[in-house]
C-alpha cells in the first residue's frame, strides 16, 4: 500500500484527507471523540511537514441533503481543541465557500469541508455521478490521503473515486489498521485463537468461514452460540436461534473436525425469563436450558474455559460480545474475555463496533490491547478476507 512518504515533499502542498469523524452526538455535544483522536496522527504529520490540510468527512445519514443537524461544526470545534493548528469549517463541500477557503489556506492550517454526505453523489451507485463529484473535490487539492478506516469498505467518492483523481496514499490510521488486522488473517503466530460472539450467526458467516481456515481454536459465545448448541442436538429454550442456519453451522462443526480446529462452545449459560436489564439471571448447564428461558451470557465455567484457552494463544482475534454486555447482569462473559486479551501477552486484535464499545463500556485500558479497530464494518470485511475498494485503490 502506498504510504504518505510516496507523495514526496509536502511543503506548501494542498493535501485532501478523508477522515472518519462519524462521532456520536447528543444535540451538538460529542459524546465520544475517539474517532477524532484516532485521526490526529495523520493530520499532525501532514501539518508538521508544512502541508495545507483539507479534510473531508461524513456525519450520520443526511441522505444527500443539507441538514443542519448533521453539520460538522461540532467536529470542527473539537478538532480545533485537539490539534495544534487553526481549524476552519467551509460552509459547503465543493462550492464557493470551500473553493475560497481552500485557495486562501496557509501552510500548517486545516480546512474542514462540510459533511460530504450532504451531496447525493457521494454515495451514488452511478459511477459517472461519483466521478463528477470526485473531479470537483480534486480541484481543491494536489494530493489525497485516505485515513477514514471506518469507510474503506465503501465504494464512495471521498473514499474510492477521489483516489484515482489525485496522487494518493494511505494515512497512518489506515496503515495501522491493515497491518494489525492482517496479522490476524494472514500469518498469525500460533497457537491462534479466534473468539466470536455477537448477536446473529448469519451476520458472521463470512468471518467464521474465513477464520476457520486460519485458526487453531475457535471459541463461540454470544447469541450465535445457541445455533451451534442446537446444531449439536441441545435444546436452547427461548434463546436467539436461527433455524435456517442450522445446516450451515453443522457444516462448520464438521469442517472444524476435519481441520483439527479446537471448536469450543459454552458448557454453561446465564439464562433469564426475558430480554431485560432487570431480568433474573440463573446459571444452568448448556444441556439444561429450560424451555421458558433464554441464554443471555456464557456461564462462569465457560468463562474459565475460554480464559484458559486464550491464555495459551500467541495471537487472539476477538469479534462479538459473549453476552448482552449492555445489561450488567449479563456482562460477565464479555468482561472475562476482554480481561484475558487485556492481561495476556498474545497479539490481541478487537474487531467489530459493539466489541470495541464493550471494551470502553467495561472500563478496560485500551492500550493493553494490541489493536482495537476503529471500523466495525470495515474490520469485519477484512476478517472475512474480502478485498476492500478503498484499500485496493491505494495499492500499486
Question: Given the complex with ligand ADP, which of 53 and 208 has the nearer CB atom?
Answer: 208
Task: Give the nearest residue (CB) to Mg ion.
Answer: 354
Q: What is the DSSP letter of 114?
A: P
In angstroms, give the least distance from the CB of 352 to Mg ion.
Answer: 6
Question: Given the complex with ligand ADP, which of 170 and 355 has the nearer CB atom?
Answer: 355
Q: Which residues contact 376 (CB under 8 A, 6 or more apart)?
A: 150, 351, 352, 353, 354, 356
Neighbours of 247 (CB within 10 A): 9
For residue 314, indicate whether it is catalytic: no
Q: How many residues of this chain bind Mg ion (CB under 5 A)? A: 2
The dihedrals phi and psi of 228, each to the nearest 5 degrees, come to -65, -45
Question: Given the complex with ligand ADP, which of 87 and 196 has the nearer CB atom?
Answer: 196
Question: Given the complex with ligand ADP, which of 62 and 333 has the nearer CB atom?
Answer: 333
321's contact among Mg ion, ligand ADP, none, with CB below 5 to 8 A by partner kind, is ligand ADP
Rg, the chain, Cα only = 23
| Angle, in degrees to the nearest 10, between helices 332-343 and 353-361 | 90
333's contact among Mg ion, ligand ADP, none, with CB below 5 to 8 A by partner kind, is none
For residue 78, indicate whether it is catalytic: no
In angstroms, give the least distance from the CB of 272 to ligand ADP.
Answer: 10
In angstroms, give the least distance from the CB of 281 to ligand ADP.
Answer: 12
Q: Which of 302, 264, 263, 309 is nearest to 283 (CA)?
A: 302
User: Binding Mg ion by CB under 5 A: which of 136, 177, 216, 354?
Assistant: 354
381 makes contact with Mg ion (CB under 5 A): no
Question: Given the complex with ligand ADP, which of 322 and 394 has the nearer CB atom?
Answer: 322
Instruction: List the beta strands (DSSP E) in 124-233.
Output: 143-146, 168-170, 192-196, 217-220
Using the contact rule CB under 5 A, the part of the chain among 149-157, 168-176, 209-217, 351-359 near Mg ion is: 351-359
Question: Given the complex with Mg ion, which of 314 and 386 has the nearer CB atom?
Answer: 386
| Cα(358)–Cα(195) distance, integer angstroms | 14
Long-range contacts from 61-65, C-beta under 8 angstroms, 24+ separation: 61/117, 62/115, 62/117, 62/118, 63/117, 63/120, 64/117, 64/118, 64/119, 64/120, 64/121, 64/122, 64/123, 65/118, 65/120
Q: Which residues contact 232 (CB under 8 A, 6 or more apart)?
A: 253, 265
Q: Choosing from 353, 375, 376, 390, which is the catalytic residue?
A: 353
Q: Choosing from 64, 80, 108, 377, which is the catalytic residue?
A: 377
355's contact among ligand ADP, Mg ion, none, with CB below 5 to 8 A by partner kind, is ligand ADP
In angstroms, give the least distance from the CB of 225 to Mg ion.
Answer: 16
Straight-line distance from the first to the last Cα atom of the chain, in angstroms, rounded to the nearest whole number: 7
- For the chain, what's the residue count? 396
| Cα(116)–Cα(235) distance, integer angstroms | 49
User: Binding Mg ion by CB under 5 A: which of 150, 222, 281, 353?
Assistant: 353
For residue 377, indicate whether it is catalytic: yes
For residue 148, indicate whether it is catalytic: no
Kindly list the residues in this chain that would bind ligand ADP in the complex (CB under 6 A).
Answer: 197-199, 203, 222-223, 240, 295-296, 319-321, 323-324, 326, 352-355, 376
In angstroms, give the least distance from the CB of 254 to ligand ADP.
Answer: 24
| Cα(64)–Cα(365) distance, integer angstroms | 38
In angstroms, give the least distance from the CB of 301 to ligand ADP.
Answer: 16
Which residues are the active-site residues? 35, 200, 353, 377
Give the residues lining the site for Mg ion (CB under 5 A): 353-354
Amino acid at each position: 500500500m502506498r504510504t504518505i512518504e510516496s507523495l514526496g515533499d509536502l511543503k506548501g502542498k494542498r493535501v485532501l484527507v478523508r477522515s472518519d469523524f462519524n462521532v456520536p452526538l447528543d444535540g451538538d455535544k460529542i459524546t465520544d471523540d475517539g474517532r477524532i483522536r484516532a485521526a490526529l496522527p495523520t493530520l499532525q504529520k501532514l501539518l508538521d511537514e508544512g502541508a495545507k490540510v483539507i479534510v473531508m468527512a461524513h456525519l450520520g445519514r443526511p441522505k444527500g441533503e443539507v441538514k443542519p443537524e448533521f453539520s460538522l461544526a461540532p467536529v470542527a470545534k473539537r478538532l480545533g481543541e485537539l490539534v495544534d493548528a487553526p481549524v476552519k469549517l467551509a460552509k459547503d463541500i465543493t462550492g464557493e465557500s470551500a473553493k475560497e477557503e481552500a485557495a486562501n489556506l496557509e501552510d500548517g492550517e486545516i480546512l474542514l469541508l462540510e459533511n460530504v454526505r450532504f451531496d447525493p453523489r457521494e454515495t451514488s451507485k452511478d459511477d459517472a455521478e461519483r466521478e463528477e463529484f470526485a473531479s470537483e473535490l480534486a480541484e481543491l487539492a494536489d494530493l489525497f490521503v485516505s485515513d477514514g478506516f471506518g469507510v474503506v469498505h465503501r465504494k464512495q467518492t471521498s473514499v474510492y473515486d477521489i483516489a484515482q483523481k489525485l496522487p494518493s496514499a494511505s494515512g497512518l490510521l489506515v496503515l495501522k489498521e491493515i497491518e494489525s488486522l492482517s496479522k490476524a488473517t494472514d500469518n498469525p503466530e500460533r497457537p491462534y485463537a479466534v473468539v466470536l460472539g455477537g448477536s446473529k450467526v448469519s451476520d458472521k458467516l463470512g468471518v467464521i468461514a474465513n477464520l476457520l481456515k486460519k485458526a487453531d481454536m475457535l471459541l463461540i459465545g454470544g447469541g450465535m452460540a445457541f445455533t451451534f448448541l442446537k446444531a449439536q442436538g441441545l435444546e436452547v429454550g427461548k434463546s436467539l436461534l436461527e433455524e435456517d442456519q442450522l445446516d450451515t453451522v453443522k457444516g462448520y462443526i464438521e469442517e472444524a473436525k476435519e481441520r483439527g480446529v479446537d471448536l469450543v462452545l459454552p458448557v454453561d449459560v446465564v439464562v433469564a425469563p426475558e430480554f431485560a436489564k432487570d431480568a433474573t439471571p440463573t446459571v444452568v448447564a448448556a444441556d439444561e436450558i429450560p424451555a421458558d428461558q433464554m441464554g443471555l451470557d456464557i456461564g462462569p465455567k465457560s468463562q474459565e474455559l475460554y480464559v484458559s484457552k486464550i491464555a495459551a494463544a500467541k495471537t487472539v482475534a476477538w469479534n462479538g460480545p459473549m453476552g448482552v454486555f449492555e445489561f450488567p447482569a449479563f456482562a460477565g462473559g464479555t468482561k472475562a474475555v476482554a480481561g484475558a486479551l487485556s492481561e495476556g501477552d498474545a497479539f490481541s486484535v478487537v474487531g467489530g463496533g459493539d466489541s470495541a464499545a464493550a471494551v470502553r463500556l467495561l472500563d478496560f485500558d485500551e492500550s493493553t490491547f494490541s489493536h482495537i479497530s476503529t471500523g466495525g464494518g470495515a474490520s469485519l470485511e477484512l476478517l472475512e478476507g474480502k478485498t476492500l475498494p478503498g484499500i485496493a485503490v491505494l495499492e500499486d
